[in-house]
Structure 1
Amino acid sequence: MKIGIVIPAHNEALTTSDCLASVQTAMKQLPSTITAYPLVVLDSCTDDTESLVKAAGVDSLSCNYRHVGQVRDLGIRHAIDKGATWLACTDADSVVPPDWLVEQIKHITEQTPDMICGVVSVDSWAHLTPQTKQAYIAHYQDKMGHRHIHGANLSFSAKAYLAVGGFTKLPCHEDVDLVKKFEEQNYDIIWSNRVRVTTSSRLDARVTEGFAGFLANLEKGNLE
């Protein structure tokens, strides 16, 4: 098996190095029979993200889409062309634990899913109100069988991805749209809290309706 790890990035110089270091650590935990290919898709970057990716020894593609769905699709299809049979998505403002890929392999071995929807942990609550943290925890289901969808922690088989047509060209919610396609075509999805990442709690969203936007709306509601 070959895993393609696809990471979109738009001006993520502050977080890219930590993200890639965590991915490389996770890759080292894989058995010798499994290889992994990390790829950063640089979307309209004007900061030092590209040089940091090069310094980490990771391959990259460049584009100017400003549509995260199109950016992810570009990287995934490139990884599939490189021989990837399983795709693992995360984001450049997230870090993965050492067992991130190993836990995916366990699910694949145990249950042969077509897709795994993982969970996210928030890296810091220090700059947010206690009420925002409480509201988030009350909303979030950190358990097996959860129904959360995160582009920062989504993985799937190459065969199924191509069959459903891949990510749609959307500026946000491309992950929700892809999961819906898998569900509509009766592919097997595991909703796992064993596969997890830690993601940024920043409020300056790269995508208006993404995770940062969700936190920002919670914070705004608690400040009013």
Structure 2
Amino acid sequence: MPSAVPNTVIAIPVRNEAERIEACLRAIDAQTGLAPGSLALVLFLNNCTDGTEAIVEALRPSLSLPMRVSHVTYAQAHAGWARREAMNAAVDWIGAASGGAILSTDADSRVPPDWVLRNLAALRAGADAVAGRIELDADEAALLPPSLHERGRLEDAYSAVLTEIEARIDPDPHDPWPCHRTTIGATLAVTREAYVAVGGMPAIALGEDGAFVAALLRQGYHVRHAPEVVVTVSGRLVGRAPGGVADTIRARCEKPESLCDARLEAVPHAVFRYLCRRHLRRLHGEGRLKGTRGWARFLKISETDAVRIAALPLPGLAVAEAERVSPRLVYRPLGPFELAHHTRLARLALVPIRALTRIANRRVTTPPPRPVAVGLEAP
């Protein structure tokens, strides 16, 4: 007999997706390997004027999943607010007693049949949240200029090498290599407990997904960047959320020379950053961040900031704050025409890094305990 309360809810913010909402819902409804009644769907329709709501209601009788739909008109709406409202509704549906997980995707995305199952597998393996990857719809991607595809290929290649270097120098036992560094609302999963503990999805206009994952990491929660979790997203040039995938694609079509993402910095600076993170985590774990100031002088951090950083209770908080205030850790992203050169350098650097970190990481360390939230209420 199916449970009346699902333990997994997919939350989707929706705005004017009449052309794509059916494909999105059909893909979600085709999920496999799940117990009957365990999965449900929340749609948060905001400011829809194109008939999306009527399409959703017409589809409802043919869908096997229980679904809750709300339709709100709000002049100050933006992507972060809408995603937060959708995920908060999922929290409420699951309820406090049953634990459970919340998954997020977008209304112009199509998830594969094992998307929920793969996310839940990563959560059951010890992650508190799972960040997946995206691929552009093949038909729509074919309409984009070849220069954009070439830039994407170069960025992906460099990002993969940098990510392996990072994972080897500053390893996270809960997010081991192979992994990635994509953070996007089109494929996120989080336990209800972790979601509530960090105050939910930030209600900010841009970058709410990245800010949310950063908050989880700062608070010591385990985020798995799972390469096997992949979602197909639209390759359109006119999106619904400013600063989203569509805006990024269009901007890079219009300005091919625009800078890359912040983390795609030069190899020496990236390696310096990862070594600093590793050192700060070790000092914090050994209780020596407060007793020494060499690290602060080296990073050109003021005494006032050093005292404040050293007093932070979690290593993730200390590292994030040190990176924020240190002039030596300012991100300096590359331009697209520098990527090929730095990819070659990174691949050369990776050979000794693999050997050296394999030796350095032989010492077995106990993973930090999962954080415990006390006195926190659902957002």
| 1:12 alignment partner in structure 2 | 17
Q: Distance in 1 between matches of 2:57 and 2:181?
A: 36
Identical aligned residues as a percent: 29
Letter in 2 for 1:50: E
Q: Which residue number corresponds to residue 83 of structure 1?
A: 94
Offset at residue 47 of structure 1 (A): 0.9
Answer whether contact 2:123 2:129 (CA < 8 A) is retained.
Answer: no
Q: Distance in 2 between matches of 1:91 and 1:68?
A: 10
SS in 1 for 2:49: coil
- Alpha-carbon contact 1:129-1:222 (below 8 Å) kept: no
CA positional deviation for 1:113: 0.6
Are 2:100 and 1:104 aligned? no
Q: Report whether the alignment pairs 1:139 with 2:155.
A: yes
Q: Which amino acid aligns with 1:18?
A: A
2:197 corresponds to 1:157: no
Q: Does 1:200 align with 2:234?
A: yes
Distance 2:251 2:223 in 1: 29
Q: Which runs of 5+ in 1 are unaligned?
A: none
Match of residue 22, structure 1, among 13, 27, 34: 27
Q: Is the 8 A contact 1:53 1:59 kept in 2?
A: no
CA contact (8 A) 1:3 1:35 kept: yes
Once the 2 structures are TM-superposed, how far is the Cα of residue 33 of structure 1 from its aligned partner? 6.7
Deviation at 1:32, TM superposition (A): 1.8
Structure 2 contact 45–70 (Cα < 8 Å) conserved: yes
* Correspondence for 1:61 among 51, 70, 77: 70
SS at match of 1:96: coil
Q: 2-side partners of 1:70 and 1:77: how far apart?
A: 10
Q: Does 1:117 align with 2:135?
A: no
* Partner residue of 1:2 out of 3, 7, 21: 7
Structure 2: segments with no counterpart, 5+ residues: 1-5, 61-66, 161-176, 259-379
CA distance in 1, matches of 2:230, 2:134: 5
- Separation of aligned partners in 2, 1:2 and 1:130: 44
Aligned to 2:89, what secondary structure does the other structure show?
Answer: helix
> What is the Cα deviation at residue 108 of structure 1?
2.3
How far apart are 1:51 and its partner, in Å?
1.2
Q: Secondary structure at the match of 1:18?
A: helix
Partner of 1:41: 44
Residue 371 of structure 2: aligned partner: none
Question: How far apart are residue 147 of structure 1 and its match?
Answer: 0.7
Q: Which has the higher contact order (CA 8 A, sep 6+)?
A: 1
Deviates more, 1:114-123 or 1:137-146: 137-146
Measured in 2, the distance between the counterparts of 1:34 and 1:108 equals 19
CA contact (8 A) 2:87 2:201 kept: no
Separation in structure 2 between the aligned mates of residue 132 and residue 216 of structure 1, nearest angstrom: 10
1:93 aligned to which of 103, 108, 111: 108
Does the 8 A contact of 2:148 with 2:252 survive in 1? Answer: yes
Matches within 5 A, 1:162-173: 162-173=196-207
Q: Which runs of 4+ in 1 moved over 6 A?
A: none
Counterpart CA distance in 2 for 1:72 and 1:8 is: 5
* Change in 2 beyond 3 A, CA 1:131/1:159: same
Deviations 1:38-63 (A, max 9, x none): 11110100011111111221421122
State the superposition RMSD in angstroms.
2.0
Shift of residue 131, structure 1, vs aligned partner? 0.8
Q: 1:3–1:34: 8 Å Cα contact kept in structure 2? A: no
Write 1 or 2 for the structure with the bigger share of strand: 1
The aligned amino acid for 2:44 is V
- Aligned match of 1:218: 252
* C-alpha distance in 2 between matches for 1:173 and 1:214: 12
Structure 1 length as normaliser, TM-score? 0.92
Distance 2:188 2:219 in 1: 18
Question: Would you tell me which structure has more helix in proportion to its own residues?
Answer: 2
Q: Secondary structure at the match of 1:133?
A: helix
Measured after TM superposition, the shift of residue 209 of structure 1 is 1.0
Aligned mates of 2:112, 2:154 — CA distance in 1: 24
